[in-house]
Each structure stands twice: as structure tokens, then as C-alpha cells.
């Protein structure tokens, strides 16, 4: 199936494209737009319509406050995760065993001697996220989907609030991240949806929120289509190197191009393994549902005690969960969402009875906490653009710009984003 103005089928597209972008989430569509703006003919390939996978299910926050990546949980956080007492992380033994090497690397790269360099690179990406989104928001006339009023971290513990408030001061001093500390009465005044008075909240003032992440990705995609791009639905079975470039093969369709950019998020390592690439990745499942309330929520709230985000969306209040590590032969349980929502109902004016998990998806997390945005180490014309972890929705346009600059020989890819740096 082809979306766009051409009406061509996949067979007709053979040898007619400069670039194939594999993946139609925020990262893939941003890549297609950026390369198209540079003057290239681009076709996007995915098994579903744009914005239907990982980009569909997030909490809708463009996280300008996230100047540093989420490090491996040491200390009490690790103990809470390992014992199953907390709600932020759930796991099973099969998942730990299958992902053990990636998890060990994650722990290693979270050590200060590695993390400081990684965080410095990460911060430069986050710093540009707003401007890069603004570029496409303006061109796609999508600004009505965005609110630039920040979001809250909500605390039921004085100790947790004190710790995170100190970290907020560090982020402001190092990166200029703006935040405000609210006491319990202050946050209840801002958000009457709260049933009782918490210990307090941190208001992350710089971050933006989106009331419909799927609609934003689709709007960017429609801009791409209106400018002559194509989106082809193929359940990809094989990636082949051919004489003049690359070919994507499905059951009845083939698409070829001079260059291929892999933007398939958590599916990327599987697709690239036949080409000889062994790419470590931690797969963090997340879930969401939508609940009702008679009261309005003005900004998203991250309930720190439960590891859940409550966000006002077009379809109601979206509740999104933390990370669930699941073995490849098991199905995610969604217990974080189910249990956490019942607890949320005690402190929020929401209806959490008969909760149904509406969406489950995986966050593609590299152990080194940075995405790829550059050429493949061993194949000409092949490009990697994946591994954004929690921040594909935030960083898609920014890393797409970096990849395009490298493609056009305008600017080299930062060393820590180059696939060859991590894969050799």
C-alpha cells in the first residue's frame, strides 16, 4: 500500500528513489523530512501507517528538561527494582539473562568516568530539540497540538523531593534548565484534580507537551507526502545489498534506492543481524491506557512514587508506565500500569476501575544511552538512525538534522553518535 500523490506501487518504485527510510515513527519521518528538504527523493517504508508503533504510545512530552540520560539505577533504586518493591521497573529472569550483556554495559557506561562524557553529548542534543521541532511544527501547521507550559514531578516523600530538587539545581547550573519547587498546597492549587495534598512538586518549566503524539507524527508525515514523498506499507522480510544500492523486500513488494537509513527503533538490531551487525539493546516495554476524570488536568504529572505519567490528551487522561523487561518468549504483563493506576486513583480524581491496557510498546535503549545517527561501519550507502531510548519523540528532528548534515558533508557526526565508535 502506498500513501502519497504518486499512486505507484512498490514494484514501480524500483531504482526511482535516492533514499529509503525504514521506519515511520517520529525518528523515521523526521529523517525523511530532513533529507527531502536537502533535495533528495525519499520513500518511507514501514509495516504500518506513520506513527503507529513506539511513537504512538508515549506520554507526549518533548523533554527539554532531560539534559542528561537515564543512568543505570544504583543504590536504593536498584534494590527496589531487584526486589520488585517499586513500580518503576519490572522484570523477569528470562529478560535479565537474554539482555545480560547489554545490561552490564549499561551499568558500565553509567559510571562517572564514562557518563560525564555521554551526558555532555546528550545535553547538546536536548538543547536543540525545541528549535528543531519548531521548524517542522511551523511547516506542518501543527502548533495547535503543542503546549509550552512544562510538566510536574509529584512527590509523596520529603526525602525524594529534597533529592530531586538538589538535582534540579544542578541541571540549572550546568545546562540552564528552568524549574520551580511547589509545596503541596501550591501544586493542589495548580491542579485541582489531586484528591489530597502531596509533599510537593517540581515544575519543569522548559518542556513542551503534545496532546496527541500520533497526530503530530501524522502531521509531519502529511507534510512529507505533500512535498512529493511516498510512504509504502511493507512487512519487511529482507534487506539486500544490490549493485546500485539497497533493496527492501516484502511478500509481494520490493523497493530499492541508492541509500538506506534504518530508523526502525527496537526492530533495528533484528533487521541488521543478517548483515553481520550485533547491536546490543535493552528493550524497555511501556504501556498506556486512557482514564476519565470530572476535573481538568492542565499539565502532565509524573507521579514519582509510582513511576507513572498522567497526561491530558485528546482521548482523555493518558496513563503511561515505567519500564518492563520481558523475555522474548513472554508477553508483557502490564502490572505496573494496572497496579499503579489503582494507587493513583487514591490521590487523583480519576476512574481506574475496569482498566484495559490499550497499548504496549518497546523503547529502544542502547547501553551507552545515545542514539546512532551516521553511516554504518561496514556497508556503503547504509545509515543507522535508532536507539533513542525514551527520547525518540523529543530528539527525532535533531538527530535527523545531524544525519542529514553528515549525508550532505556539511558537518561530521559527533563521535559518540557514530555507529563505528561503538561497533568498531
pLDDT at 84: 66
Q: State the burial class of residue 6 (Cβ atoms within 10 Å of its Cβ: 0-12, 13-18, 19+).
A: middle
Rounded Cα distance, 147 and 299, in Å? 9
Q: Helix, strand, or coil here: 52?
A: coil
Rounded Cα distance, 22 and 238, in Å? 12
Domain 67-211+281-365, CATH number (from 3.30.9.10, 3.40.50.300, 3.40.50.2000, 3.10.310.30): 3.30.9.10
- Strand locations in 250-293 (E): 254-262, 282-291
CA angle 353, 357, 358 (to 5 degrees): 120
pLDDT at 151: 99
Cell digits of residue 43: 520513500
Give whole-number Cα distances, 172 to 150, 175, 182, 204, 341, in Å: 15, 5, 16, 11, 32
Q: What is the DSSP letter of 287?
A: E
Cell digits of residue 311: 497526561
Q: Do strands 230-233 and 42-46 pair parallel, antiparallel, or not at all (unpaired)?
A: parallel
CATH 3.40.30.120 fits 2-55+214-278+368-423, yes or no: no
Cα within 13 Å of Cα(13), Cβ side = 33
pLDDT at 252: 84
DSSP assignments along 169-223, one per residue: HHHHHHH---EEEEEHHHHHHH-TTBSS--SEEEEE-S-EEES-HHHHHHHHHHH
Q: What is the 3 state secondary structure string of 63-86?
A: CCCCCCCCCCCCHHHHHHHHHCCC
Phi, psi of 158 (to 5 degrees): -60, -40
Phi, psi of 145 (to 5 degrees): -85, -10
Q: What is the DSSP letter of 414?
A: P
The ranges assigned to domains in the chain are 2-55+214-278+368-423, 67-211+281-365
Cell digits of residue 195: 484528591
Q: What is the pLDDT along the chain (424 residues), one digit of tens a residue?
A: 555 544 344 444 444 569 999 999 999 999 999 999 999 999 999 999 999 888 889 999 999 999 999 999 887 766 666 666 777 888 888 889 999 999 999 999 999 999 999 999 999 999 999 999 999 999 999 999 999 999 999 999 999 999 999 999 999 999 999 999 999 999 999 999 999 999 999 999 999 999 999 999 999 999 999 999 999 999 999 999 999 899 999 988 899 999 999 999 999 999 999 999 999 999 999 999 999 998 999 999 999 999 999 999 999 999 999 889 988 777 888 888 988 888 899 999 998 887 899 999 999 999 999 999 999 999 999 999 999 999 999 999 999 999 999 999 999 999 999 999 999 8
Amino acid at each position: 500500500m502506498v500513501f502519497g500523490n504518486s499512486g505507484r506501487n512498490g514494484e514501480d518504485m524500483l531504482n526511482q528513489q535516492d533514499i529509503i527510510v525504514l521506519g515511520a515513527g517520529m525518528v523515521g519521518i523526521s529523517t525523511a523530512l530532513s533529507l527531502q528538504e536537502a533535495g533528495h527523493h525519499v520513500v518511507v517504508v514501514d509495516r504500518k501507517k506513520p506513527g503507529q508503533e513506539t511513537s504512538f504510545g508515549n506520554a507526549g512530552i518533548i523533554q527539554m528538561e532531560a539534559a542528561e540520560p537515564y543512568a543505570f539505577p544504583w543504590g536504593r533504586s536498584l534494590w527496589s527494582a531487584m526486589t520488585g518493591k517499586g513500580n518503576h521497573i519490572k522484570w523477569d529472569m528470562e529478560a535479565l539473562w537474554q539482555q545480560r550483556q547489554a545490561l552490564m554495559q549499561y551499568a558500565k557506561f553509567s559510571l562517572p568516568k564514562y557518563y560525564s562524557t555521554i551526558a555532555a553529548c546528550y545535553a547538546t542534543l536536548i538543547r536543540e530539540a525545541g528549535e528543531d521541532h519548531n521548524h517542522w511544527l511551523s511547516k506542518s501547521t501543527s502548533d495547535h497540538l503543542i503546549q509550552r507550559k512544562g510538566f510536574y514531578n509529584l512527590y509523596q516523600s520529603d526525602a525524594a523531593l529534597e533529592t530531586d530538587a538538589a538535582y534540579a539545581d544542578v541541571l540549572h547550573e550546568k545546562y540552564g534548565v528552568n524549574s520551580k519547587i511547589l509545596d503541596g498546597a501550591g501544586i493542589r492549587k495548580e491542579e485541582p484534580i489531586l484528591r489530597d495534598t502531596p509533599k510537593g512538586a517540581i515544575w519543569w518549566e522548559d518542556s513542551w507537551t503534545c496532546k496527541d503524539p500520533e497526530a503530530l507524527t501524522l502531521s509531519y508525515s502529511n507534510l512529507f507526502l505533500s512535498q512529493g514523498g511516498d510512504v509504502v506499507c511493507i512487512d519487511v522480510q529482507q534487506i539486500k545489498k544490490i549493485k546500485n544500492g539497497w533493496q527492501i523486500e516484502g511478500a509481494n513488494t520490493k523497493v530499492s534506492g541508492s541509500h538506506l537509513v534504518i530508523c526502525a527503533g527496537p526492530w533495528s538490531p533484528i533487521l541488521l543481524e543478517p548483515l553481520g551487525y550485533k547491536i546490543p539493546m535493552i528493550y524497555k516495554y511501556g504501556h498506556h491506557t486512557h482514564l476519565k476524570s470530572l476535573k481538568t488536568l492542565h499539565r502532565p504529572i509524573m507521579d514519582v512514587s509510582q513511576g507513572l505519567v498522567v497526561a491530558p490528551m485528546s482521548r482523555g487522561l493518558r496513563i503511561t508506565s515505567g519500564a518492563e523487561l520481558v523475555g522474548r518468549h513472554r508477553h508483557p504483563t502490564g502490572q505496573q500500569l494496572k497496579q499503579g493506576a489503582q494507587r493513583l486513583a487514591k490521590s487523583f480524581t480519576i476512574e481506574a476501575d475496569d482498566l484495559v491496557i490499550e497499548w504496549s510498546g518497546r523503547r529502544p535503549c542502547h547501553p551507552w544511552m545515545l542514539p546512532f545517527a551516521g553511516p554504518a561501519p561496514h556497508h556503503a550507502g547504509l545509515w543507522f538512525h535508532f536507539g533513542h531510548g525514551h527520547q525518540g519523540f523529543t530528539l527525532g528532528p535533531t538527530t535527523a538534522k545531524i544525519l542529514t548534515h553528515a549525508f550532505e558533508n556539511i558537518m561530521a557526526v559527533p563521535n559518540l553518535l557514530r555507529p563505528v565508535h561503538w561497533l568498531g
